[in-house]
A = this chain, B = another copy of it.
Amino acid sequence: MPYFDTASAAPLHPVARQALLAALDEGWADPARLYREGRRARLLLDAAREAAAEAVGCRPDELTFTPSGTRAVHSGISGALAGRRRAGRHLVVSAVEHSSVLHSAAAHEAQGGSVSEVPVDRSGAVGAAAYADALREDTALACLQSANHEVGTVQPVAAVADLCRAAGVPLLVDAAQSLGREPVPDGWSLLTGSAHKWGGPSGVGLLAVRKGVRFAVQGPADERESGRAAGFENIPAIVAAAASLRAVRAEAAAESVRLRALVDRIRATVAELVPDVEVVGDPVRRLPHLVTFSCLYVDGETLLHELDRAGFSVSSGSSCTSSTLAPSHVLRAMGVLSEGNVRVSLPNGTAEKDVDRFLEVLPRVVAQVRQRLGAPESAPREAAPAASLVVDALGKRCPIPVIELAKVIGEVPVGGTVTVLSDDEAARLDIPAWCAMREQEYVGEEPADRGSAYVVRRLS
């Protein structure tokens, strides 16, 4: 049963499993104790730190193990901001960072700090010039992911690092998605990662802070992990995380080439075989194993459910698959379609035949879902034209508002408008995205009694 969501969590790597089992016996004691069990645990912890530091490209005393990648980000951002308090309270992040970064930024704002979000282009990449514009005299910290977790686009870390260095601003690079696969980008001041993304166990993140970077740990004091990660060290998991990081990085060169080709095949085939689809993210400057696309007139939750029934585990940034009923902030920042969204991220060792079967199943499943929703199959019918039409889609969720729009666009003359009333958060993103895909004009959004009125002009 193919699991295609390794960007969420990867199953335990065999090397990690083996290391974990050994360290359960040898590494359970308190490494601060002087007796033999404690000394053994300390040796294992030291060796794991050295191995991880070598993989990351830093000194062992610059690297701290945290209970998760999320906690590494939280501690890294709060510590760096506090350490640079005298410089100012301004934080720069890209608009497509992981939620742990954006939630840290929101917490910083709630405490009186200020935050600038650097926008991204339609491929999901920040521009170096836009990043430079965001840096200010009072910027305490800048954050940029190495590559995006939802669409795979690689960010210009080296260029942004140069800008930050010139401005005297430390740069935190969230390398969670790339650490097990790609060389670590140069020029970071702080770096974070998450073991369960690279085949290590849950419960281990890493935070590296370059010597010389001002850093003031927040929260109650704790003597462990250089004071940067409170709580008893999870040594068996740390040992397993370090072992698997080395293992996957050793496999990466060969495996990345293979996965890159499989993803290219998915990108091309999906665009070819699925009508009304938008494959998103940079086609070249991207993670090797990850591809995302959105299908017009499709409900993401149903699509995921049908793919699961067919044996494929994938994830989605569609609003209907999120607990907040809002589309993914990444797709929103890119301005691309969010309905019927699918993210495929291939684990190392993915078999070619599983990808082929996915490409065989997907078009059929999409067609079924569309049929059930009554989505328009082909170009809209011409009918007695009215100058403008209003579609009431209030109370209806993604993808219904876009389906209703597509059904009636042919009923107004070229130059006429369709106004869609909708209180679904996804409509704000998906109606403009539909216009771009269909080459119709998106006139704009107006407030309405309930929800918003989205105005579309028929161009062809």
Q: Which residues does A use to contact B, with CB under 8 Å? A: 1, 3, 5, 8-12, 17, 20-21, 24-25, 28-30, 32-38, 67-71, 74, 99-100, 103-104, 106-107, 194, 196, 201-203, 205, 219-223, 230-237, 301, 304-305, 307-308, 312-315, 321, 323
| Contact between chains at B222 and A35 (CB < 8 Å) | no
| Minimum CB distance partner of A199 in chain B | B28
- Minimum CB–CB distance from A154 to chain B (whole Å) comes to 23
- Set of chain B residues within 8 Å of A37, measured between Cβ atoms: 3, 5, 313
| Contact between chains at B202 and A232 (CB < 8 Å) | yes
| Contact between chains at A196 and B35 (CB < 8 Å) | no
| Contact between chains at A68 and B202 (CB < 8 Å) | no
Contact of A70 among B8, B232, B305 (CB under 8 A): B232
| Minimum CB distance partner of A324 in chain B | B223
- Set of chain B residues within 8 Å of A307, measured between Cβ atoms: 35
- Bound-state Cα–Cα, A388 to B69, Å: 63
- Set of chain B residues within 8 Å of A230, measured between Cβ atoms: 68, 70-71, 74, 100
- Set of chain B residues within 8 Å of A99, measured between Cβ atoms: 222
- Bound-state Cα–Cα, A308 to B69, Å: 37
Contact of A304 among B34, B201, B220, B222 (CB under 8 A): B34
Contact of A205 among B28, B219, B231, B314 (CB under 8 A): B231
22 contacts between A and B (CB under 8 A): A5-B35, A5-B37, A8-B29, A8-B30, A9-B28, A9-B29, A11-B28, A21-B21, A28-B201, A34-B321, A35-B313, A67-B203, A69-B231, A71-B231, A74-B219, A74-B220, A103-B220, A103-B222, A104-B220, A196-B232, A201-B236, A202-B235
- Set of chain B residues within 8 Å of A236, measured between Cβ atoms: 201-202
- Set of chain B residues within 8 Å of A301, measured between Cβ atoms: 34
| Contact between chains at A106 and B71 (CB < 8 Å) | no
Contact of A5 among B21, B33, B237, B314 (CB under 8 A): B33
- Set of chain B residues within 8 Å of A312, measured between Cβ atoms: 35
- Bound-state Cα–Cα, A70 to B30, Å: 14
Q: From known contacts A34-B305, A304-B35, infer whether A17 and B24 are also in contact, taking CB-CB under 8 Å.
A: yes
Contact of A33 among B104, B221, B235, B313 (CB under 8 A): B313
